[in-house]
């Protein structure tokens, strides 16, 4: 495995868990004392990928796919069963001080702030923990508070902040030591649209200014599409796609959606001969057709009907990703720009 400055190299990464199965009731408990039935959970199955310095990459997959487990191994929280990880020349599991000073992990469902104290107390503690120069610390603090518009909330008890306000404080606390490798696990979960957008903008600005390498898991596709050009799609511990986000539809979806608004009479049965009716509400029809036939179908409709408005769109990326969940692991990855 070769060293890559500021980047991430993962080779044949595996994580297995052993767990016990117990029958219910007292009889099951006694039986379990004498002989435990042990099973194995394959959380991550021999995955390999590379992330160059300064790239934001999206980790996508259903619940239980292995995304969070992978991030925990990358950050050194848990030890892999086998395989190798190289992050900026370090093995995460060694947990060397220089490595820990250069990374940060934010988990949307776990807080690192002291609940009963103002956020500034947690920030001051992190500044002390990372041995930050006070002048540089306050400069970064002012900069990030300005970006997230939370300067007037620093001295408010954390428990009295809204969910969105707390998440912004979590990010500032995690980023105060200027990490160059960042792991984000559902950072916008449960937030309103405005808070989600504010956090996306903050992450984009941070990445552009410091060229930090960021890995992001999210069930909100808006997070992924706003921040990432490349994505890793994981299902059942396997990578089923690694490449440009724009290539997901190109790889699987060979359909187009024609959104039509008729201003004259039309026949549903006739339109069904041209494609699949996805939606029919009054004069508005959404017609799914094969990509190679889309132009021909559209020309036929224009010639035979009067329409007041129409658009031609790709199938939503979420649908293509759902199809990828059902595919076998790919042998050759579709590499993104790096």
Mean pLDDT comparison of 24-33, 63-72, 313-322, highest-scoring range: 63-72
Q: Examine residue 303 and state whether it is found in any structural domain, yes or no.
A: yes
**What is the residue range of 310's domain?**
255-314
Taking CA 171 as the corner, what is the angle to CA 168 and CA 80, rounded to the nearest 5 degrees?
140
Q: Examine residue 286 and state whether it is found in any structural domain, yes or no.
A: yes
Say how far apart CA 178 and CA 17 lie, in whole Å: 34
Q: Examine residue 260 and state whether it is found in any structural domain, yes or no.
A: yes
Q: Is the pLDDT assigned to residue 320 strictly greater than 70?
A: no
Mean pLDDT of 240-261: 79
Q: Looking at 85-99, 141-155, 156-170, 300-314, which range is the least confident one?
A: 300-314
Q: How many domains does the chain have?
A: 1
Q: Looking at 2-6, 52-56, 162-166, 189-193, which range is the least confident one?
A: 2-6
Q: Examine residue 266 and state whether it is found in any structural domain, yes or no.
A: yes
Say how far apart CA 60 and CA 233 lie, in whole Å: 5
Say how far apart CA 278 and CA 323 lie, in whole Å: 18
Q: Looking at 18-32, 225-239, 258-272, 323-337, which range is the least confident one?
A: 323-337
Instruction: Report the side by side order of strands in the sheet with 255-262.
Output: 276-281, 284-290, 255-262, 307-314
Phi/psi class of residue 245: alpha, beta or left (left: φ > 0; alpha: ψ in -120 to 50)? alpha
Q: Looking at 44-58, 188-202, 238-252, which range is the least confident one?
A: 238-252
CATH number of 259's domain: 3.30.70
Q: What is the pLDDT of residue 322?
A: 67
Q: Examine residue 285 and state whether it is found in any structural domain, yes or no.
A: yes
- Split at pLDDT 50, 70, 90, the class of 156 is very high
Q: What is the pLDDT of residue 338?
A: 37
Q: Is the pLDDT assigned to residue 107 strictly greater than 70?
A: yes
Say how far apart CA 156 and CA 160 lie, in whole Å: 7
Q: Is the pLDDT assigned to residue 1 strictly greater than 90?
A: no
Q: What is the pLDDT of residue 214?
A: 95
Q: What is the pLDDT of residue 331?
A: 39
- Split at pLDDT 50, 70, 90, the class of 126 is very high
- Split at pLDDT 50, 70, 90, the class of 268 is confident
Q: Examine residue 292 and state whether it is found in any structural domain, yes or no.
A: yes
Beta pairing partners, 261: 284, 309
3 state SS of 232: strand
Q: Examine residue 267 and state whether it is found in any structural domain, yes or no.
A: yes
Phi/psi class of residue 12: alpha, beta or left (left: φ > 0; alpha: ψ in -120 to 50)? left
Predicted TM-score of the model (pTM): 0.76
Q: Examine residue 282 and state whether it is found in any structural domain, yes or no.
A: yes
């Amino acid at each position: 495995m070769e060293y890559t400055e500021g980047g991430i190299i993962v080779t044949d990464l595996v994580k297995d868990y052993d767990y016990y199965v117990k029958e219910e009731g007292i009889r099951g408990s006694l039986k379990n004392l004498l002989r435990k039935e042990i099973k194995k959970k394959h959380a991550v199955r021999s995955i390999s990928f590379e992330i160059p310095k300064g790239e934001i990459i999206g980790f996508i997959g259903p619940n239980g796919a292995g995304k969070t487990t992978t991030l925990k191994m990358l950050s050194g929280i848990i030890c892999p069963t086998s395989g190798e990880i190289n992050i900026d020349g370090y093995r995460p599991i060694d947990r060397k001080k220089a490595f820990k000073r250069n990374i940060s992990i934010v988990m949307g469902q776990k807080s690192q702030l002291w609940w009963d104290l103002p956020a500034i107390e947690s920030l001051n503690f992190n500044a002390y923990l990372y041995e930050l120069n006070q002048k540089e610390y306050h400069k970064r603090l002012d900069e990030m508070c300005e970006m997230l518009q939370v300067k007037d909330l620093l001295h408010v008890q954390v428990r009295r902040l809204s969910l969105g306000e707390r998440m912004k404080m979590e990010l500032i606390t995690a980023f105060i030591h200027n990490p160059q490798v960042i792991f984000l696990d559902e950072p916008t979960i449960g937030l309103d649209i405005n808070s989600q957008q504010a956090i996306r903008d903050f992450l984009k600005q941070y990445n552009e200014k410091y060229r930090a390498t960021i890995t992001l898991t999210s069930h909100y596709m808006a997070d992924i599409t706003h921040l990432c050009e490349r994505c890793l799609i994981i299902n059942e511990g396997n990578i089923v796609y690694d490449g440009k986000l724009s290539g997901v539809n190109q790889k699987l979806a060979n359909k187009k959606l024609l959104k039509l608004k008729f201003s004259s009479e039309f026949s549903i049965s006739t339109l069904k001969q041209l494609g699949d009716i996805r939606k029919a509400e009054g004069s508005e029809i959404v017609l799914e057709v094969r990509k190679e036939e889309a132009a021909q179908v559209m020309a036929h409709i224009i010639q035979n009907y009067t329409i007041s408005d129409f658009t031609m769109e790709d199938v939503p990326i979420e649908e293509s990703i759902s199809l990828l969940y059902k595919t076998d692991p790919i042998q050759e990855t579709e590499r993104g720009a790096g």
